Amino acid sequence: MIDRQDVMRMARLARLELSEEEIELYQRDLNSFLVSGRKLQQVDVSKVEGTSHAVAVIGELRPDVVGESLPQEAVLGAGPQVFNGFFKVPRIVEGQE
Amino acid sequence: MRRLAELLQSKQISSTEIVRGCLERIEETEPVLNAFITVDEEGALAQAAAADRRRAAGEPLSPWDGIPLAVKDNISTSGLRTTCASRFLRNYTPIFDATVVERVKRAGLPIVGKTNLDEFAMGSSTEYSAFGVTKNPHDPLRVAGGSSGGSAAAVAAEQVPWSLGTDTGGSIRQPASFCGVVGLKPSYGRVSRYGAVALAPSLDQVGTLARKVEDAAILFSLIAGADPRDAVSAGAPGFPVPVWDDTVVRGLRVGVPEEFFSSGLNEEVEKAVKRALQNLADQGAVLQPISLPTNEYAIDTYLTLVTAEASSCLARFDGVRYGERVEAADANTMFAKSRGAGFGHEVKRRIMLGTYVLSASHYEAYYEQAQKVRTLIKQDVARAFQEVDVIVTPTTPTTAFKIGEKRNPLEMYLSDLYTATANLSGVCALSLPCGVDSQGLPIGLQIIGDHFGEELVFQVAHAVEESVGRGTGSEV
């Protein structure tokens, strides 16, 4: 069973702020999902490797040539907060100005 | 579309007239349907005018130059808002084109607008869009399906001749089935995913929707083939439009998997699909009962993998480089608040599930286990294709359901029961109409082909279309 603490922990890992209602909702959903997830655990997979891609593409290389880059101004244009050619974020390192 | 191309070529119609026709039709039907998130009237008319100038100069970019299309709103279009039907991206305008968009533009196709979807393509009904639900053109009380519901409805309602969608577990085929149009999910790697906003990169493919099999094939021919910007497309051949030959059906080995005709399948759907199968047999196809025993696990496997991949893919929406931001004093709170406010319920639900199955203590039991079951599903499909040339099934267990009918998310996921297997195994699959039920709702038939087997799938679909003999409307 998944309890409230588990839900809060997942939300923290996923960087997701949830309302009280959502915490209850997802606790219920996670629990009902686990029922279906457990169905898979009964399948015998001892003889197979996992599939990570539908079609394995291994070591596909392309020539290492300089292509066209997007202009910095345009890229920054989509940012909600930009300053002086940078994306602006809240302070993440404490220290002097 | 060939007729439209001829009319353009002989100057009996202009691209501007076609685009105006689309815009009028959209104006007339959109208040009911809500198939579009953004209609780019100005841009579409400008592109049409350019197409007309090229025609006048005798320099069309392709035979289809000037025939407009609609693009699902999770595919990047330079200078045209791309929201993924999310509040998070409601004001986001990309600065580059997805490869598929670049390619249709290179063929001269004007983009009329961006179509509605379930937020970030997570859903099977377009009900999880931050821009409202898309209605089914055959019955506005019912869903158009999803997640490419807008792309399917726009084609069915003749708002546009054809459209692009994406399919991760059935998101092109299921709405195509519900709306009575043709929808192709290409083989994994056949079409570049560059610029299509990722839901689950090991499953996602961009594909085409149209009212006729040939038109879906023509549009597919414009977007298929390798692209250095998507490594998994490296081995992809291009796709020439087939020369139709309905005699391919003679001696064709058609696999009919018993698991797809069992409990949960609506009787009328079963009847219509079996009638189409009988038609194929009458034309000389050999129907072969086959078994795909692991299909029983397809939805659970799909769900585990798609939530895991989605939770990882959506980490990029952090309120720093694009999208909406909710300010906070520290970075982690800013991320959490922005994501909490920007994402809808279904997206958060899947991120939560995905985070759970990927977390250290559950990774092996859920995620790794699902990857292994996926191998078994792949093996089942590969084994089937040693015995048969194509597999034919219903596309969905039922016809279009009512808006608001499916309240339980697990119940919603079940509408991908017959479609997810093709994504998990990487093969191609197409849905086309094969009749209507007693309420007049379209029924879809799914033709699954082997990896890169699109040519044969289209040939068989063409033969079925001819035998069903049901044209679904004019060309705008």
- Of residues B364, B348, B340, the one with CA closest to residue B307: B348
| Banded pLDDT at A35 (limits 50, 70, 90) | confident
The answer to whether residue B339 neighbours chain A at the CB level (below 8 Å) is: yes
User: Sheet holding B36-39: strands in order across?
Assistant: B36-39, B111-115, B69-72, B162-167, B205-210, B182-185, B428-436, B442-449, B390-394, B253-257, B286-290
> Domains of chain B, with CATH numbers?
1-292+379-476 (3.90.1300.10), 301-363 (no CATH)
The answer to whether residue B77 neighbours chain A at the CB level (below 8 Å) is: no
pTM of the prediction? Answer: 0.95
User: Rounded mean pLDDT of B50-58?
Assistant: 97
State how far the Cα of B476 lies from the Cα of B375, in Å rounded to an integer.
Answer: 44
Residue A26 pLDDT > 80: yes
Q: How many CA atoms lie within 13 A of B87 on its CB side?
A: 16
Q: Which of A10, A36, A54 sits opposite B352 (nearest CB)?
A: A10
The answer to whether residue B329 neighbours chain A at the CB level (below 8 Å) is: yes
- Chain B: residue nearest A32 by CA? B410
B148 is catalytic: no
User: Rounded mean pLDDT of B166-172?
Assistant: 97
The answer to whether residue A75 neighbours chain B at the CB level (below 8 Å) is: yes
B135 is catalytic: no
The C-alpha of B464 sits at a distance from chain A's nearest C-alpha, in angstroms, of 28
Angle at B196 between CA B194 and CA B197, to 5 degrees: 120
pLDDT at B197: 97
| Banded pLDDT at A51 (limits 50, 70, 90) | confident
| Structural tokens at position B292 | 């795909």
pLDDT at B471: 39
DSSP string, B274-330: HHHHHHHHHTT-EEEEE--GGGGGHHHHHHHHHHHHHHHHGGG-SSSSSS-----SS
Q: Which residues of A touch B202 (CB under 8 A)?
A: 52-54
Amino acid letter for position A54? A
B123 in Cβ contact with B169 (< 8 Å): no
Using only C-alpha atoms, what is the Rg of chain B? 21
Of B414 and A29, the one with more pLDDT: A29
* Residues belonging to chain A: 97
Residue B359 pLDDT > 70: yes
| Mean pLDDT value across chain A | 87
Residues 428-467 (B) with a CB less than 8 A from some CB of A? 451
Cβ <8 Å between B378 and A45? no
Q: For B176-219, write each residue's pLDDT tens digit.
A: 999 999 999 999 999 999 999 999 999 999 999 999 999 999 99
State how far the Cα of B456 lies from the Cα of B249, in Å rounded to an integer.
Answer: 10
Query: Choosing from B125, B147, B187, B415, which is the catalytic residue?
Result: B147
The neighbour count for residue B116, using CB atoms within 10 Å, is 30
- Chain A: residue nearest B228 by CA? A62
Q: For B223-250, write each residue's pLDDT tens digit.
A: 999 998 998 898 889 999 999 998 999 9
Q: Which residues of A touch B333 (CB under 8 A)?
A: 17, 90
Q: Is A59 exposed, middle or buried (0-12, 13-18, 19+ CB in 10 A)?
A: exposed
| Structural tokens at position B181 | 């149009």
State how far the Cα of B451 lies from the Cα of B188, in Å rounded to an integer.
Answer: 8
For CA atoms B450, B453, B454, B456, the dihedral sign is negative
pLDDT at B148: 98
Residue B476 pLDDT > 50: no
Three-state DSSP class for residue B191: strand
Listed by start position, the domains of chain A span: 4-41
**Range name among A65-74, B59-68, B158-167, B299-308 with the lowest pLDDT average:** A65-74
| Banded pLDDT at A63 (limits 50, 70, 90) | confident
Residues 182-241 (B) with a CB less than 8 A from some CB of A? 187-189, 202-203, 228, 231-232, 234-235
How many Cβ contacts (< 8 angstroms) between chains A and B?
174
State how far the Cα of B433 lies from the Cα of B211, in Å rounded to an integer.
Answer: 9
State how far the Cα of B169 lies from the Cα of B40, in Å rounded to an integer.
Answer: 29
State how far the Cα of B168 lies from the Cα of B198, in Å rounded to an integer.
Answer: 10
Residues 15-34 (A) with a CB less than 8 A from some CB of B? 15-19, 22, 25-26, 29-30, 32-33
State how far the Cα of B362 lies from the Cα of A6, in Å rounded to an integer.
Answer: 12
| Mean pLDDT value across chain B | 95
- Of residues B67, B112, B120, B66, the one with CA closest to residue B90: B120
Q: For B318-351, write each residue's pLDDT tens digit.
A: 999 999 999 999 999 999 999 999 999 999 999 9
Output DSSP code: residue A52: S
Residue B475 pLDDT > 60: no
| Structural tokens at position A30 | 């996670």
| Banded pLDDT at B474 (limits 50, 70, 90) | very low
* Residue B406 backbone phi and psi in degrees, to 5: -100, 100
pLDDT at A37: 79
Cβ <8 Å between B348 and A78? no
For CA atoms B329, B332, B333, B334, the dihedral sign is positive
pLDDT at B411: 82
Cβ <8 Å between A16 and B311? no
- Chain A: residue nearest B346 by CA? A26
For CA atoms A32, B149, B116, B111, the dihedral sign is positive
Residue B61 pLDDT > 60: yes
**Range name among A45-54, B306-315, B365-374 with the lowest pLDDT average:** A45-54
The C-alpha of B229 sits at a distance from chain A's nearest C-alpha, in angstroms, of 9
pLDDT at B473: 38
Query: Choosing from B124, B125, B129, B171, which is the catalytic residue?
Result: B171
- Using H for helix, E for strand and C for coil, what is the string for B324-355? CCCCCCCHHHHHHHHHHHHCCHHHHHHHHHHH
The C-alpha of B208 sits at a distance from chain A's nearest C-alpha, in angstroms, of 20
pLDDT at A97: 53
| Banded pLDDT at A91 (limits 50, 70, 90) | confident
The answer to whether residue A56 neighbours chain B at the CB level (below 8 Å) is: no
B133 in Cβ contact with B90 (< 8 Å): no
User: Rounded mean pLDDT of B409-417?
Assistant: 84
Q: Which residues of B touch A81 (CB under 8 A)?
A: 325
Cβ <8 Å between A32 and B355? no
| Banded pLDDT at A96 (limits 50, 70, 90) | low
B11 is catalytic: no
CA torsion angle A79 A80 A85 A88 (round to 10): -120
| Banded pLDDT at B269 (limits 50, 70, 90) | very high
Amino acid letter for position B392? V
The C-alpha of B370 sits at a distance from chain A's nearest C-alpha, in angstroms, of 7
Ranges assigned E (strand) in B317-460: 390-394, 428-436, 442-449
State how far the Cα of B392 lies from the Cα of B256, in Å rounded to an integer.
Answer: 6
